């Protein structure tokens, strides 16, 4: 494992991102698919039924796009609900509705809430980016109509070549959507793991922390100002009493006789 992989793993734990394809990579993909199409259509015997098969591939890719869009829309809905609940918890903690005397659990819940909000926001943002508008190439009337003077073989080859070109473009666009979906899934995984850890921390503190009444008594015993307030004002000191009769070493004073009735 090199440094690049370690960096991406750390980044995925904090703020998942994706590597955007460069223009050179996009052109290389289109060129490779065009070369493959020309090689497949070079054989005249392979033209029989090739248009229908290429159209089926294009329809399958469109079904793939619809499935990805449905999953991305589901992620937006679930993440939005989780974000609303999380915001309510953060607001309750900020306004003092949910309060804990332990500073450790306060900091843990505050940091955990910030991390959860970051992951939910990243999941929604990635899903929205995946659902954003993209320019898909489509068939034109000149692509489906036979031209004047064009034989059936040339027309079939042109139709198949156009379908394969559209297939390459649609695969590229749909792969971008799937990449955004993978980023959203990673953010949701981080959210669930952090939520489970926070649940364990909160459960451990709820079991081991002192009860509210015991904690109140401990705070009162340790507060000197409260003790002085409860004791009240002190009056002037009274007169000093007469010293008693000293007792010789080794001798004990006799007890006073009891008076009978």
Half-sphere exposure of 18 (CA within 13 A, CB side): 23
pLDDT at position 236, please? Answer: 72
* Euclidean distance between the first and the last CA atom of the chain, given in angstroms as a whole number: 102
* Helices of type H across 19-102: 23-40, 50-95
Lowest mean pLDDT, pick from 113-117, 118-122, 175-179, 210-214: 210-214
pLDDT at position 240, please? Answer: 72
Question: 120 or 43, which is more confident?
Answer: 120
pLDDT at position 45, please? Answer: 63
Share of the chain above pLDDT 70, in %: 74
What pLDDT digit, counting tens, does each position of 158-192 carry?
888 888 889 888 999 999 999 999 999 999 999 99
Lowest mean pLDDT, pick from 102-106, 145-149, 221-225: 221-225
What pLDDT digit, counting tens, does each position of 93-107 carry?
666 655 566 677 777
Tokens of 252: 């004990």
How many residues does this entry show for the chain?
Answer: 261
Residue 153's pLDDT band (cuts 50, 70, 90): confident
Q: Kindly state the average pLDDT of the residues 123-133.
A: 91
What pLDDT digit, counting tens, does each position of 31-77 carry?
888 887 777 777 666 666 788 888 888 999 999 999 999 999 999 88
CA-to-CA distance for 200 and 193, rounded, in angstroms?
Answer: 11
């Amino acid at each position: 494992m090199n440094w690049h992989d370690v960096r991406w793993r750390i980044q995925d734990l904090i703020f998942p991102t994706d590597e955007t394809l460069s223009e050179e990579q996009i052109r290389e993909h289109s060129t490779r698919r065009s070369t493959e199409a020309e090689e497949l259509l070079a054989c005249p015997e392979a033209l029989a039924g090739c248009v229908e098969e290429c159209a089926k591939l294009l329809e399958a890719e469109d079904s793939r796009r619809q499935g990805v869009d449905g999953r991305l829309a589901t992620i937006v809905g679930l993440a939005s609900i989780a974000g609303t609940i999380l915001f309510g918890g953060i607001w309750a903690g900020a306004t003092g509705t949910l309060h804990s005397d332990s500073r450790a659990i306060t900091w843990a819940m505050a940091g955990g809430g910030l991390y959860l909000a970051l992951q939910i926001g990243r999941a929604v943002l990635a899903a929205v980016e995946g659902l954003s508008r993209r320019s898909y190439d489509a068939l034109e009337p000149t692509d489906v109509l036979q031209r004047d003077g064009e034989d059936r073989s040339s027309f079939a080859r042109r139709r198949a070549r156009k379908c394969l070109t559209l297939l390459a473009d649609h695969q590229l666009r749909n792969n971008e959507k799937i990449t955004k979906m993978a980023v959203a899934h990673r953010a949701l995984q981080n959210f669930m793991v952090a939520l489970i850890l926070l649940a364990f921390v909160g459960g451990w503190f709820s079991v081991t922390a002192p009860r509210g009444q015991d904690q109140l008594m401990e705070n009162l015993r340790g507060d000197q100002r409260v003790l002085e307030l409860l004791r009240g004002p002190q009056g002037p000191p009274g007169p000093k009493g007469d010293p008693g009769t000293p007792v010789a070493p080794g001798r004990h004073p006799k007890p006073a006789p009891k008076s009978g009735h």
